[in-house]
Structure 1
Amino acid sequence: MTDTTRAAGMRRRTFLQVSAAGLVSATTLGGISRAYGAPYGNFTWISPRGSLEVLDDYGLWVGKKMGYFGDLAFDTQPGPSDGTAVVKFVDVGQADMGYPSPGVFSFALENGMDLKSVFHMGALDTFSLAFRKGEGTNDLKTLEGKTILLGSAAWQSIVDPMLAVQGVDVSKVNYVEAGWPTWATALQAGQGDAALSWEGLRAEWIANGLDFEYWLGVKHSPLFANTFVVRAADLDDADKKEFLGKYLRGWAMGMEFAYHNPRAAVEAVFEQFPTLANNLGPQIGTVSILQQLAVNRGDMDKRAGWGDHDMAKWQTFFDSIYELGQVTKAFKAEDIATNELVAAANDFDAAKVKADADAYVLSEPFAALDVEAIKAGLYDQAVR
């Protein structure tokens, strides 16, 4: 495999600057060439969270470690932590695939960005609301008149529909942008009544001494989570479409491996990011990846494979945000999401991937973990 993925040792990053008038320009830091490979020349996937040092992208790092991307040349960038940068990058050609939340994707569509979802990562709703111990609730209507803390103001587009489908009048909810990554500590300090969180992150918060209780979207929400988007025009280019299918297959194989051996998947990410390994450790890392696998798989018996869009669910979401006024156009799911790459992404030898996962020799700290016991306690932080 041609290893052109940049991570902890990145020497160049490209960031978008957004002016007060909403104009976007690019700034490049450092000075090396990015990954080069036909047909994109410099295919770049961009994170929505301003950092790659997380477990969320385990499919990528497992796929990279196991050689599942073959000889594809690609680049991986963290981008800035601005909530909407991930779609702006793709729209102006500074990246080729982004990973926005449904709300941020709707922001892109509302603002005329001709993007399309091609690989639905989050089949279930990954988002949750954190509360200080003893203050949690499963009746979200009680949040009317109260304050929810966010890491970015753009995240309101995530929370509004999540609350609205639970019958909350979102006009009565206050939002405070408490900053990345400090919004959780702001909640702990009593600066708000709840804070947005998500699966995987809540495990990391435990590692950082942030012990909350949660209303869990994965248990209570009819919505879903983040997705991979590209420029819609790229799907009209046969060479780019073929590249995208191969690239997504690397991700799908990585996630299939992780499903069969989650501890090995955590090890792969920890090898990439030693600081993350030191911060989380094997136990919390395994909790985090199991939380995320549940979201990414959803009900796989009803899906055509990794990345498959449930179009009825997508239509429900966009109908809801249209009624909410979050978008001014009634979007049709088939116009902004497609399953045309799902077959290519899942065109791999599943038995071989399982064999790879089963044959992986775990390090002693990971081998000592009881995965079934961890699974049994995966939702112990849920509000009772």
Structure 2
Amino acid sequence: MTKDNFIQQAGMSRRTFLQVTGAGLVTATALGATGLRARAEAYGKFTWISPRGTLEVLDDYPYWAAKKAGYFDGLDTDMQPGPSDGTATVKFVDVGQADMGFPSPGVFSFAIQNGMKLKSVFHMGTRDTFSIAFRKGEGSNDLKKLEGKTILLGSAAWQSITDPLLAAQGVDIKKVKYVEAGWPTWGTALAGGQGDAALSWEGLRAEWIAKGLDFEYWLGVKNSKLPANTFVVRAADLEDPDKKAFLERYLRGWAMGLEFGYQNPRAAVEAVFEQFPTLAKNLGPELGTTSILQQINVFRGDMDKRGGWGSHDMASWQGFFDEIHKIGQITNPVKAEDVCSNDLIPAANDFDKAKVKADADGVKLSEGFAALDVEKIKAHLFDSAVK
């Protein structure tokens, strides 16, 4: 699909371009036997693709923590950044160039609208991670004040995130203009006086501070009932017993990584920093820990009411699908249970939590991380929220 066709289908006439992102490609993964344990050969090397065009972020900390701890149990796994086109994470899974993607609900709806036979199998973002950034002194908790204003996006595809977020808060989205300011420069564009606000998310808030971008935020994690990003696979893979067994083992690794990060967030940050030294240099221990704590809040949610890591709240998802149908983002109603599945969640959470806690507690932290007061950081996680 061309960018023009996508724009037409997504109804993006209210958007102008500052930068056009290239389509980009990742190399198709080779399938075949790789000497894995029983049933693991279902995929060969299993490829997960990012929605952001980069892996040098803290968002994927459960994977890097789990990989370091050996929780993927011999599975042959691969992480790909993908192109910065916001819809690539679903397109590549659909055509078999990746096996699992991590789209926002809005981009997942783009896949559904365009007939991609994908299913959400592990809901990472149980709370709404998305926020609206404003220059200091210009923010408001009443998003209806954005009518007649301009919101900056890093990718055209992000309109599918922002429209339902705004509509759910009573905004007439036909009165909002979007400008695609490019990845990763849309935050800098806001700081430089372009536009009135910008889309952001948890974790990124801390990363923007590291870049000198000091904003105030309307926080979805505090004010929105919509879901956030999720893991999707081809629906047909769930009908293949070998692939389903592989997915259960693979997602168990992610669930163990999530538990590890919850038990020792500083150790999880260090696992990512070891993988990406430039990110470590840019963020440092305190902002890195701040970023991961923001994300843990999104990923964990109210665990007492969940079926474990990755469990879908079907009521939240149904509310999202009803909202985007109302605003015309999808043409036909969608039943959450038809496109979201909790079938893999019991097996994904079938691990020894006491062992993971012992593993996390047993990590010897570097001096910079050991000196941090995690509880103090938690107490200031939302200081940048609009007052």
What TM-score, normalized to structure 2?
A: 0.92
Corresponding residue to 1:41 among 41, 44, 58? 44
Displacement of 1:312: 1.1
> What amino acid is aligned across from residue 86 of structure 2 in structure 1?
G
Residue 349 (structure 1) aligned to one of 347, 352, 361: 352
* Alpha-carbon distance in 1 for matches of 2:204, 2:282: 13
For 2:75 and 2:191, locate their aligned partners in 1 and report how far apart those are by CA, in whole Å.
44
Match status 1:84 vs 2:87: yes
> What is residue 53 of structure 1 aligned with on the other side?
56
Q: Which residue of structure 2 aligns with residue 220 of structure 1? A: 223
Which residue is equivalent to 1:6? none
Cα 1:307/1:209, change in 2 over 3 Å: same
In structure 1, what is the Cα distance between the partners aligned to 2:104 and 2:297?
17
Please, which of 224, 235, 238 is the counterpart of residue 238 of structure 2? 235
Aligned to 2:316: 313
Partner of 1:120: 123
| Whole-Å separation in 2 of the counterparts to 1:188 and 1:373 | 28
1:197 is matched by which residue type in structure 2?
A: S
Equivalence for 1:295: 298
Q: Give the deviation of 1:174 after TM superposition.
A: 0.5
Alignment of 1:152 onto 2:155 = yes
Q: CA deviation at 1:224?
A: 1.5
* Cα distance change, pair 34–277 in 1 and its aligned pair in 2 (3 A): farther
Q: Deviations over 1:331-381 (max 9, x none)?
A: 000100000000111010001101111111111100000000000000000
Superposed CA deviations along residues 151-198 of structure 1, whole A, max 9, x for unmatched, are: 001100000000001000000000000000010011001110000000
Regions of 4+ moved over 2 Å: 17-22, 25-29, 31-37
Which of residues 317, 322, 341 in structure 1 aligns to 2:325?
Answer: 322
**What SS is found at the alignment partner of 1:325?**
coil
Distance 1:195 1:279 in 2: 22
| Whole-angstrom distance in 2 between the partners of 1:314 and 1:106 | 11
Q: What secondary structure, in the 3-state scheme, does the structure 1 residue paired with 2:250 have?
A: helix
For this pair of structures, how many residues does the alignment match? Answer: 365
1:136 aligns with 2:139: yes
Shift of 1:19: 7.1
The residue aligned with 2:15 is none
Q: Secondary structure at the match of 1:44?
A: strand
Tell me what 2:114 maps to.
Answer: 111
Separation (CA, whole Å) in 2 of partners of 1:205 and 1:355: 33
Q: Is 1:335 aligned to 2:338, yes or no? A: yes
CA 27–287 in structure 1, closer or farther in 2 if over 3 Å, else same: closer
Distance 1:226 1:282 in 2: 25
In the alignment, the residues of structure 2 paired with residue 372 and residue 159 of structure 1 have an alpha-carbon distance, to the nearest angstrom, of: 32
* Counterparts of 1:26 and 1:365, CA distance in 2: 38
For 1:247 and 1:112, locate their aligned partners in 2 and report how far apart those are by CA, in whole Å. Answer: 26
Unaligned residue ranges in structure 2 (runs of 5+): 7-22
Distance of 2:200 and 2:158 partners within structure 1: 11
Cα contact 2:31–2:43 (8 A) shared by 1: no
Q: Per the alignment, do residues 150 and 32 of structure 1 end up closer, same or farther by CA in structure 2, a change over 3 Å counting?
A: closer
- Give, in angstroms, the shift of residue 42 of structure 1: 2.9
- The separation in 1 between residues aligned to 2:63 and 2:378, in whole angstroms, is 23
1:175-324 to 2 correspondences below 5 Å: 175-324=178-327
The answer on whether the counterparts of 1:34 and 1:75 sit within 8 Å (CA) in structure 2 is: no
Write the distance in 1 (CA, Å) between the matches of 2:370 and 2:153.
Answer: 37
Structure 1 unaligned residues grouped into runs of 5+:
1-16
